[in-house]
Chain A
Amino acid sequence: MTAELAIETTDLRKVFRSRWSGKEVCAVENISLRVNRGTTFGLLGPNGAGKTTFVKMLLSACIPTAGTARVYGRDTKDPEARRPIGYLPENHRFPTYFTGAGMLDFYAALSGVDAAKRRKLIPELFERVGLDPKWMDVRVGKYSKGMLQRVGLAQALIHSPSLLVLDEPSDGVDPVGRRQIRDVLHALEAQGVTIFLNSHLLQEVELFCRDVAIVNKGRVVLEGTVNDLTAGKGYKLVAMNGSGPKEWNLGSREEANGKIDDLRREGFSIESLVPTTSRLEDVFIEAVQGKK
């Protein structure tokens, strides 16, 4: 049952305590989240909402104060739980003494990929993330921000993970590059890879993710599919009479049907009836401000 879930957290909580003053800050407050296998999941939230702390707890880079985090049914405290995870952090600092190929080789070796497979995979991955293989032997210190982001993505993919955790993956990448990264992610999605995206770019999440959770002040304030969250809660009705078109915003299907009956009796002709939709941005702002 649990293995059907790529990620499952139960009452995950993180309290940071100052070493000297003893002051406490609760960064993540009892988050229980379920991410289905094979889905594309977006974690949204304003700055300081606790998104990155949550992700770090999934990777065991941050130790939870309470609660559990499981990846494919395994507690993330177990290093083996991290074997299926590919991770790209937001503010990564890859050692500049590495060449691009050397860096991929190192991280692949840490993931237990054997040398022969690494030699085969590295040039393939360079091309896959849109990097010219001629950069393979150049030190990453010479790479641009966008190139670092791509080689970082290649690092996350080197061991063929079944769960990809990406923190702002298109940060610093130009629009063409963003499209390329999105294409790579779509291809992975088609292969059944679960993609967990932590991003503040709402449009990116709306375009790419199937499921989202909005986090604010360490708590999940809204969760669901992008389609459900952006689906309209009403209808827009346009009807005409002799004096021209008129519009009505109606809250429910019953209300819309009643209004149509009334208008027809009054001699209006119905022009259109469209369910209203909202953008993820509207949903996000409403969710975050509504919980203030």
Chain B
Amino acid sequence: MTATFALIVDTFREAMARKIFWGLFGLSLLMVLFFLFIMKIDVVEGATATITLFGQTAGGEHRDMAVDKLVKQVHSSISTFLYSFGMFLAVFASAGLIPSVLEPGRIEVMLSKPISRAHLLMGRFIGNVLVVSCNIVLLVGGVWLIFGWKTGVWSPGFLVAIPSTIFVFSVLLTVVVLAGVLWESTAVSTMIPVVMMILSPILAQEETARKLLSSEWSRQLWLFLYVALPKVYDVGKMTLDITLGQGAGSWWPIWSSGAFGILVYGAAQWIFEKRDF
């Protein structure tokens, strides 16, 4: 337990020293403060008269409904941001944290300690996930609290964005770990998951592709890639649907992405166990 905690704290320490943590934290905080101050509420005789968000006023006899809609729209915008720019930023910022620990002269000292390689890798992985999780919790939780407090609309569906974003980031991080133990390169460790993120919405158009592709093998290849690779787009869409109160639909993107993550992490650990340093 002491060693696991030390590995997690070390990841945080390195993330802070590399300004990764502070960069993500600053961005999340900026967004929270943005919503805190951008949303103006006018109170007349103890009742909410108007709510101004991004210059739009929700009011009149349908005020409650309009506010509810507006809040859900903001929540879905945040979810979309998390699954696009936010995820890219998280992968980009934290990809270096895995290869750095494998640097010659550093890894030997860690391996000389009475901890297994699996323990070392897992400690680093958890630390990395927690660095990003803190910022996701701050952003989603902060926005949810601000909107709930200012509008009285507490939409719990939005909070699903916390576990779902952390989950997708963890799956992409397994790719970072595998690339890290194979090539010890931050650039490669960043590129591969980013390519997967870019491919995800394209591969998700599987039905359209089936109609457009002429050969059977290309259709099968498309299907294989769609099934095998993490479904960032699909999980994002699922989160968005839950945020908008439309239900989760199929859980297939979750468990297939999870299986991908477990498989890739297992491969990374197997390679790490066999490597010479």
Contacts and interface: CB of A to CB of B under 8 A. Distances in A.
B271 to A, nearest CB: 12
Interface in A89-103: 89, 91-98, 102
Interface stretch (A80-88, A198-206, A213-221): A80-88
B13 interface: yes
Max count, chain B CB within 10 A of own CB: residue among A61, A95, A97: A61
Interface stretch (A108-116, A130-138, A234-242, A262-270): A108-116
A62 interface: yes
Interface in B98-118: 100, 103-116
A165 B112 CA distance: 10
A106 B6 contact: yes
A56 B277 contact: yes
Secondary structure call for the B interface: helix
B10 interface: yes
Interface in B1-52: 2-3, 5-7, 9-10, 13-14, 16-18
A89 B17 contact: no
B276 interface: yes
Interface residues of B, number: 32
B113 A107 contact: yes
Contacts of B14: 95, 97
Given A59-B111, A111-B113, A93 B6 contact: no
B11 to A, nearest CB: 11
A189 B42 CA distance: 78
Contact of A62 (B3, B16, B277): B277
B114 A61 contact: no
Given A61-B111, A61-B276, A110-B115, A92 B10 contact: no
B113 to A, nearest CB: 4
Nearest to A102: B13
Nearest to B9: A106
Contacts of A93: 103-106
A79 B114 contact: yes
A63 interface: yes
Contacts of B211: none
Interface residues of A, number: 35
B62 interface: no
B3 A82 contact: no
B2 A95 contact: no
A276 interface: no
Given A79-B115, A112-B2, A112-B3, A63 B109 contact: no
B114 A59 contact: no
A16 interface: yes
A227 interface: no
B112 A87 contact: yes
Given A102-B13, A106-B10, A62 B112 contact: no
Nearest to A105: B6
A219 B169 CA distance: 49
Contacts of A80: 114
A110 B6 contact: yes
A83 B275 CA distance: 21
A109 B2 contact: yes
Contact of A109 (B6, B106, B275): B6
Nearest to B17: A97
Contacts of A109: 2-3, 5-6
Contacts of A61: 107-108, 111-112, 276-277
Given A89-B105, A93-B104, A110-B3, A59 B112 contact: yes
Nearest to A85: B112
B112 A114 contact: no
B5 to A, nearest CB: 7
A87 B277 CA distance: 15
A83 B10 CA distance: 20
A62 B108 CA distance: 9
A94 B100 CA distance: 11
Given A61-B108, A79-B116, A91-B104, A114 B13 contact: no
Given A92-B105, A98-B13, A114 B2 contact: yes
A92 B3 contact: no
A56 to B, nearest CB: 7
Given A94-B105, A107-B113, 20 more contacts: A56-B276, A59-B111, A59-B112, A61-B108, A63-B276, A79-B115, A80-B114, A81-B114, A85-B112, A87-B112, A91-B104, A97-B18, A102-B13, A106-B6, A106-B9, A106-B10, A107-B109, A109-B6, A114-B2, A115-B2
Interface of A: 16, 56, 59-63, 79-83, 85, 87, 89, 91-98, 102, 106-107, 109-115, 155, 165
Interface of B: 2-3, 5-7, 9-10, 13-14, 16-18, 100, 103-116, 119, 274-277
